Amino acid sequence: MTDPHPSPNVHDTMYVLNPPSSPPHHTTNYPHPSTLRNAHISPLLLLPAELRNAIYTHALTSSTGSYTFTLSPPIRTHTGLRVLKTIVQDASANPHRLALLRTCRQIHAEAHVLPFTLNGFQFASLGVFERTVVRLLAFQRAAITRISVTTTLGRALDAFLEYMRSDGYACARDVLPNVGSVEIRFSGKGSLIREFLYRSSRGDAWAESDKRRLVAWFKGGAGDVEVLVQEVR
């Protein structure tokens, strides 16, 4: 699928130069006055880029090295509809983790990609992966390199692959173009009845076949995508 918002080079968005001391006369795309002021009075922005990068890395790296996305308990609206929302567990534990990015325009311009490049992303299910990743901006998806997905076997896996392919994502690289490390955690916590019925309808080899299909989608024929498969109970 052609992305209407092509992904920039991630490393080109890591830093911007301090704005000039006086505005050039030939451009109308000049920084906001507060950006100029902050660049010359902010102790953080007066530091060399290497030191700012070290500070950004410390501040924007999750305490666990990854962000975990899961579904909140169902929320009942005033119409009685039950709504599921994706939440970030790390944000609940540390709601100020990304506050640095909201301090000023220049800091946001320099560091807004770093939460995606510095951290892995863990998804509690294939459904959470789909609900989260496809809604990210192109530059955010391009910055993600490490993911972990927990899933059960069966119809959820079929539905996920059908949805992603029908939406134009034939493999993981189509939605996460720079992903290089994928951990798939197959969980045995699904419904035993549904699993038994599904096994009966597909035969004894259904589990290994499903695993191979999901690994193939995440790998997508790319030799540099490392896929690790684990069994969890």
22-75 tens-digit pLDDT: 333 444 455 677 777 777 778 888 899 999 999 999 999 988 889 888 877 655
Helix, coil or strand: residue 39:
helix
> Whole-model pTM?
0.74
Structure tokens at 202: 């597909």
- Where do the H-state alpha helices sit in 61-191? 89-93, 105-111, 114-118, 126-133, 138-143, 155-166, 172-175
> Each residue of 72-128: pLDDT tens digit?
765 565 555 444 555 676 655 566 778 899 888 889 999 999 999 999 999 999 999
Instruction: Determine phi and psi for 232, rounding to 5 degrees.
Output: -125, 150
